[in-house]
Structure 1
């Protein structure tokens, strides 16, 4: 039997043995085969849904980002719901869909976590701490990341206005999900 290991920067680590580890991380396409980034993402997710067992570890990053907000949310919700209620495996599922966190916050099968940060309102700066923290993230800091990446401030300022207007126009809408 082959063994797989890696360094764990901790004093102790107790892990369950998994039959398989599935990951769906990153964005790439296969244009030569006629597959968009979204098609590749869903093909990989489809394989995971068919092959994962209760003894599997599934890691999914930003599922649904390659399509409209509503379709992406619906796909992410449905995959997460299926993993929790049908497959019942251990899963790490990262998302920017804040409403997805709200949908599952009362479910005892879920533990909401986010990467910690320090936000200086006065300077309009955010420092990402890269520390896993309990609870869902209170807001997105995409504009801060845009600034850190060197996007011209004029564009970031305009994007903040557009994001605020979009958030206001969609704030009163709720997502009704059949919890079967």
Structure 2
């Protein structure tokens, strides 16, 4: 399971870097055509918006893999360690339900609706843009299950206790 997580982390990180590079090139082209050529590109703004959405979703999945999202755990840190584990598993199960219902199920429905709508300045359909939701939903659901298993095996701590905010 760890090898699969490491591989999916690498794939996600590579996808984020590639999407970020595409975003930089696209926005640079848009600024160049608008400011230097005085004739803005018709497709670059739309592509930049959609690449940004994909980058944000893949980035969110990658950060979730590392349990790096913000957490308000003031109360959880004060609980006994066994209760902290229960809370941590509960949080991961809530994320799993959210990923399954909202991202996967809702994303598939939205993708199906968007498949009938053409993009305005690019070839393709709006469904391609929404396809990132079920993809990242499956990835986040996998990571949530991975974290549940790791917490139960005691490979991961339930609640981080080393916070820099306490030092300030």
TM-score, normalisation: structure 2: 0.25
Could you say which structure has the larger radius of gyration?
Answer: 2
Q: Which structure carries more helix by proportion?
A: 2
More strand by share: 1
Larger relative contact order (Cα-Cα within 8 Å, sequence gap ≥ 6): 2
Q: Could you tell me the TM-score, scaled by structure 1's length? A: 0.24
